[in-house]
Structure 1
Amino acid sequence: MNNNSKFYSVQEAKKKLESYCAYQDRSHKEVTDKLKEMRMIPEAIDQIVGNLLDDNFLNEERFAKSFARGKFNIKKWGKIRIVRELKLRQISKYNITIALKEIEEPIYLETLDILAKKRLSQIRETNIQKRKKKLADYLLYRGWESHLVYEKLKELI
């Protein structure tokens, strides 16, 4: 998106960012990046971010929790991938820890089981070692912990 021709007042930018945050939870980084893209000066960015925090449009803990829940439930990501993605969004270690508590352990392990079985049924490789490697690569890429992946391989293949 190219906003070169448009200049925003602090009020206009604040309104635009309120809508942006109301549509879906955002990280502080996404909000500041958006404001920089709108060519707002650092003082205006600080003021707008402060207002968004005060008015509860921006809440890092809420963002981290909904991000973790969403990526786990929809994309079936493991905790390692979720943590990596939250760190990329500059979420604090404290909020990452809280976010991971949104994922219940029994459901987490059941999801791994379902995902592994589904993927295994799609792998057409006949060589056992290559089957194992393909399944392991798939699960590790999605951010599942290696010890869980290797236990699952032993169980299934």
Structure 2
Amino acid sequence: MSSSEDVKYREAVELSLRFCGYRERSKKEINTKLLSKNYSPELIEKVIKRLEEIGAVDNLRFARAFSRGKNKSNRWGKIKIRNHLFEKGLDSSEIEEGINSIDKKTYYEVLRKNIEVYTRKHSNPEKNKLVAHLLYKGFSSDEIFKTIEQQT
């Protein structure tokens, strides 16, 4: 590497480390960020490889953190989380690992909380509107109907 390439490489690594500093990132997110800063694909590949070597980026760790965070904070279901992880560039095994890291008890507590909040906001809601809302949040129809049945 020439000295100017070396400088660009170090700048890209520093930028990526700052980008990863406040939350987990996927490799695709880092790639997109560096492309937006006009770094070459070859350099980006080297940077991502280095970040993996030092443990700054790990798609499995990202999948787990993203899945648990979106379930708990945004009250999302597995379907919506799975779709967003796919958009973040993760492969199917990484996505499933992330989804499986969600605690089952917490997952159903979140689903029940969604039902509770929706019914509080909409006094006596129509069942089909409640189901549509929960489907939008990413829960499966089986999960929804079983949980509604248990609550009545």
After TM superposition, is the score higher than 0.5?
A: yes
Distance across 2 between alignment mates of 1:123 and 1:156? 17
CA contact 1:52–1:58 (8 Å) conserved in 2: yes
Distance across 2 between alignment mates of 1:100 and 1:49? 24
Runs of 4+ that moved beyond 6 A: none
Letter in 2 for 1:151: K
Identity of aligned residues (%): 27
Letter in 1 for 2:139: W
1:134 to 2:129 alignment: yes
Distance across 1 between alignment mates of 2:41 and 2:117? 49
Larger deviation: 42-51 or 147-156? 147-156
TM-score between both structures, scaled by the size of structure 1: 0.85
Please report how far the alpha carbon of residue 45 of structure 1 lies from its aligned counterpart in structure 2 after TM superposition.
Answer: 0.9
Letter in 2 for 1:19: R
Residue in 1 aligned with 2:32? 33
Q: Secondary structure of the equivalent of 2:102? A: coil
Structure 1 alignment gaps of length 5 or more: 1-7
Question: Between Structure 1 and Structure 2, how many residues are aligned?
Answer: 146
Distance across 2 between alignment mates of 1:110 and 1:143? 14
Letter in 2 for 1:106: K
Residue in 2 aligned with 1:69? 68
**Does the C-alpha gap of structure 1 residues 10 and 46 become closer, same or farther in structure 2, counting only changes over 3 Å?**
same
Of 138, 143, 146, 2:138 maps to: 143
Structure 2 alignment gaps of length 5 or more: 1-6
1:99 to 2:103 alignment: no
Residue in 2 aligned with 1:19? 18
Distance across 1 between alignment mates of 2:105 and 2:56? 33
Distance across 1 between alignment mates of 2:62 and 2:150? 36
Distance across 2 between alignment mates of 1:154 and 1:131? 15
Higher-helix-fraction structure: 2
